[in-house]
Amino acid sequence: MSETNLASESYFHLHLVSDSTGETLISVGRAAAAQYSSARPIEHIYPLVRNQKQLDRVLVDIEAQPGIVLYTLTDRELRDRLKTYCTRNSIPVLSVLAPVVRLFQAYLGGEPTPRVGGQHQLDGEYFRRIDAMNFTVTHDDGQHTEGLEGADVVLLGISRSSKTPTSIYLANRGIKTANIPLVPNVPVPPGLYELKHPLVVGLVASAQRVVEIRRNRLLGLNALQGDESYIDEDAVAQEVAHSRQLCARAGWPVIDVTRRSIEETAAAIIGLLQEHRRRISEEFSS
């Protein structure tokens, strides 16, 4: 970051107070903060705040470094105390779930039943995600290709095209994901073209971006001396072109991840998977 950018950039304190893991608050806070390019949040995250003593420590921090306070607290006494303190000290405070719960209540009727960490129950959905994670780890980087038919999604891509992190993200959404590296002069598993159930997706990026990531990776490993073609932009461009051609011949969709975050790539894949499943269902029922 340049000195000019540093000088023009401002910072603010963002306090995230939760009686559960705080994941909801983190996502909401970061999504909102991202709308302000000239202001960056200094996050203070307080998970598992479930009694007055724990809240005492939170209030001490807020007093020392006031800023925006977002919270998800089920206990009424804790909520009221936090809101009263912030209001008295002119500190902006908001329950991020309250407007949503009110909307649900207006539509569904009746009173909600407060549950701390209700979205983290050990139910069937939870164990489905665990199963997907186990599958994904087992089938990472071209391992156990004989079991690809059991995948929901198979990702293809050259080295450093975000296959593994995207696979893990999808697994956390309950999607069994395998990934296969595309290596120059190494054929893909022969059974890949015969897969019936999984959606096969190619991931590509610009040669410049891939080289940048590969070079940083090698620097971290102190291993820049080696196969020069691995970080040669022309050679990498040929790898990218080959992966595009391979997917085009097979009719597999391709996603360019050059300017996409892992979350955005995963969202695009989930959209393709829904369409893929709909098409298979229609073919089965016809």
Does 160 appear as a known binding residue? Answer: yes
**153-157 sheet: strands from edge to edge:** 177-181, 153-157, 199-204, 254-256
Does 162 appear as a known binding residue? Answer: yes
* Residue 2 zone, left/alpha/beta (φ > 0; ψ -120 to 50; rest): beta
Does 20 appear as a known binding residue? Answer: no
Does 220 appear as a known binding residue? Answer: no
Does 161 appear as a known binding residue? Answer: yes
Does 243 appear as a known binding residue? Answer: no
Binding residues: 157-164
Binding residues for ADP: 157-164
